[in-house]
Amino acid sequence: MLFDNLQNKQIQKGKQESQFNTETMLPISEIKDGYCILKDGGIRAILRADGINLDLKNFDEIQTIIEQYKRFLNGLEFPLQFLIRNTYLDLREYLQYVSRNINQLDPWALKQQGQSYLSFLEDINMKQGLIFVKEFYVVVPYYVNEQDTDQIKKPWRSKFMDTLNAKDDVETIVSRYRNFVKGQKMLNTRIALIQEGLAGLGIRTTQLNTKDVISLLFSVYNPLLDSTQAQREEK
């Protein structure tokens, strides 16, 4: 089994530590294969979705999209969470691409134009806030007991307290892993259903991998630190 090598000493040490640290307050136990495994045994998958610019649509097209979206939501038998984030446009990779290709330009006048363009982009990148983009995410859930709707309808305060009181003993960890194997199959079915439904609206979705999930969670829980780190890497 995956967690057979855990030692009881490590578990006992964890129990003696403060009950209300940052890790305890987070509902996530671990991230495996791009899935968030919660402390209560639930699983979440995160999809990144493209947006639709309704300003480029006429009235009839907008009404059609809205009606299709209503039918899509009404046809679901499980809840969804939609996350919209405003983030500054990160031009670092594009700046590196432009910088690598400027020296290959010929003649000299074209190279000078390339340098001016690079300086313009660097100035924009230094003034974070001039350009920002919206990011859209869809969180697809799986609950420990799908037949029991009490967990789904449970107030968020109760769920939060359950998270604080969760204890990661060996039995809990092994049970969580077994539930992950079972829940992953149902989640994959739901993900396919969501992607097909949104594709009918012209919205392309991709599931986040483990690295992308960690990056998203880090930026959500540490917005200022994430911005500072980006500036430090840029230097």
Query: Same structural domain for residues 15 and 56?
Result: yes
Report pLDDT for 22.
66
The predicted pLDDT at position 47 comes to 97
111 in the same domain as 29: no
Residue 213 included in any domain: yes
Q: Round to whole Å and give the CA distance between 105 and 113.
A: 10
Q: Is residue 150 part of a domain?
A: yes
Residue 231 DSSP code:
H
For residues 58 and 38, membership in a common domain is answered with yes
**Domain assignment of residue 185, yes or no:** yes
Q: What is the pLDDT of residue 170?
A: 62
User: Do 119 and 206 fall into the same domain?
Assistant: no
- In this structure, the answer to whether residues 82 and 153 fall within a common structural domain is yes
28/79 same-domain check: yes
Query: Is 61 contained in some domain?
Result: yes
219 shares a domain with 107? no
Strand blocks (E) in the chain: 28-32, 35-38, 43-49, 81-88, 132-142, 205-207
**Domain limit, last residue, from 98, 130, 162:** 130
Is the whole model's pTM more than 0.85, yes or no?
A: no
123 and 197 fall within a common domain: no
Residue 32 lies in a domain: yes
Q: Can you tell me the distance from the alpha carbon of 114 to that of 81, in angstroms, rounded to the nearest whole number?
A: 44
By residue range, what is the domain housing residue 50? Answer: 8-86+134-223
Residues 142 and 71 in one domain: yes
**Residue 228 covered by a domain:** no
Residue 40 inside a domain? The answer is yes
Query: Do residue 111 and residue 169 come from a single domain?
Result: no
By C-alpha distance, which of 36, 9, 29 is closest to 141? 36
- What is the total count of domains within the chain? 2
- Regarding whether 199 and 153 lie in a shared domain, the answer is yes
**How many Cα atoms are found within 13 Å in the side-chain-facing hemisphere of 176?**
24
d(CA 145, CA 63): 38
Q: Which has the closest alpha carbon to 88: 151, 133, 137?
A: 133
Shared domain check, 56 and 139 = yes
User: Residue 121 in contact with residue 91, Cβ under 8 Å?
Assistant: yes
pLDDT score for 235:
47
pLDDT of residue 36: 93
Three-class SS of 165-216: HCCCCHHHHHHHHHHHHHHHHHHHHHHHHHHHHHHCCCCCEEECCHHHHHHH
Per-residue pLDDT tens digits of the chain, which is 235 residues long = 222 343 444 444 444 444 556 667 788 888 989 999 888 888 999 999 998 988 899 999 999 999 999 999 999 999 999 999 988 777 788 888 888 888 777 777 788 888 898 888 888 777 655 677 889 999 999 987 764 444 445 554 454 444 444 555 666 666 666 777 778 888 999 999 999 999 999 999 999 999 999 999 988 888 777 554 544 444 4
